[in-house]
Amino acid sequence: MSTIKSIGILTSGGDAPGMNAAIRAVTRAAIYAGIKVYGIYHGYRGLIADEIEEFSTQNVSNIIQRGGTILKTARCKEFQTEEGRRQAYETLRRYKIDALVVIGGDGSLTGARIFGNEFSVPIVGLPGTIDNDLYGTDCTIGYDTALNTILECVDKIRDTATSHERLFFIEVMGRDAGFLALNGAIASGAEAAIIPEISTEVDQLGELIKAGFRKSKNSSIVLVAESPVTGGAMALAERVKNEYPEYDVRVTILGHLQRGGRPTAYDRILASRMGAAAIDALLDDQRNVMIGVKNDEIVYVPFSKAIKNEKPINRNLLDTLHRLSI
């Protein structure tokens, strides 16, 4: 029998569409199992500052379709100090919260790992980030929605790019991971993706220039992952403008558009499954694990693995993109 009678739930770090579906699933699965649920606002900041409310099933009604997070999110420097984490632990004790479910990205799960070990608090994490950069899961909550948003934008840019016969560099998010840029490029029929994983090995822009971008067409679209490693769309465009003044080059930075919007069916189902699995994991006495999905099966990934390992991109996708962009 598990000793967990009440849990706290929070969202932390960068927001991602589908976080609300995850909050709903965790809350409902917990209440279904007879566990009390506390919603903690503003991530770790609210845990330190006591921004906590008991949740009933109604608190999570009508949110599965909404982007963002009803619990709000924040970045909290104090939680990176031992004193801050001690205050967070005191709050948990006051409310008699036995365990935590943390929904967030790499940074949030790093904090969860440290806090869980320091104070022996059982914590289960859910991968909530549009970047898809957590190891041990095929997909993170929010990635599919962001990818679809990118497609919608690129389709629109393509109309104008074709009409004016321009070369567009479109910058997408990814935080040092090329998943959004690479899969976004394949799905939108772009000519190329410039991603950090490859930038360290070859001069991707140089290769593209050598190949004459797209010889058979007059317009081109290149997706660029935002990262110091790729240099970003602006810098790449400048380079082309200087070296090839004959190209009519334009830049679009998609920015925060990519974080918003109604989650796709895929993200809602993923978040619902993962949220319910978080409660199963706690009842099963799992600690310090992130819920992942591998080959459509729920898996438990130790925090140490999820956050430490660089999740590799599938290099076959690069080859596919290259072959299809002639």
Q: Is 18 in the site for ligand ADP (CB under 6 A)?
A: no
Tell me the backbone φ, ψ of residue 115, rounded to 5 degrees. Answer: -65, -45
Longest dimension (CA), the chain: 72
Q: How many CB atoms lie within 10 A of CB 147?
A: 23
Please give the Cα distance from 23 to 302 (Å, whole number).
21
Q: Is 189 in the site for ligand ADP (CB under 6 A)?
A: no
* Nearest CB to ligand ADP, comparing residues 63 and 74: 74
Residue among 20, 41, 12 at smallest CA distance from 263: 20
Please give the Cα distance from 16 to 84 (Å, whole number).
25
Q: Is 105 in the site for ligand ADP (CB under 6 A)?
A: yes
Residue numbers 123-142 binding ligand ADP by CB under 6 A: 129
Full DSSP string of 81-120:
SHHHHHHHHHHHHHHT--EEEEEE-HHHHHHHHHHHHHHT
Q: Is 107 in the site for ligand ADP (CB under 6 A)?
A: yes
Q: Among 106, 144, 191, 226, indicate the residue that binds ligand ADP (CB under 6 A).
A: 106
Tell me the backbone φ, ψ of residue 114, rounded to 5 degrees. Answer: -65, -45
* Nearest CB to ligand ADP, comparing residues 12 and 230: 12
Query: Which residue of the chain is nearest ligand ADP when measured via CB?
Result: 107
Stretch that binds ligand ADP, among 8-16, 18-26, 260-268, 288-296 (CB under 6 A): 8-16
Out of 98, 131, 144, 267, pick the active-site residue: 131
Residue numbers 260-289 binding ligand ADP by CB under 6 A: none
Please give the Cα distance from 61 to 303 (Å, whole number).
30
Q: Closest distance between ligand ADP and the C-beta of residue 40, in Å?
A: 13
Q: Is 80 in the site for ligand ADP (CB under 6 A)?
A: yes
Question: Residues interacting with ligand ADP, by CB under 6 A?
Answer: 12-14, 44, 75-76, 79-80, 104-108, 110-111, 114, 129
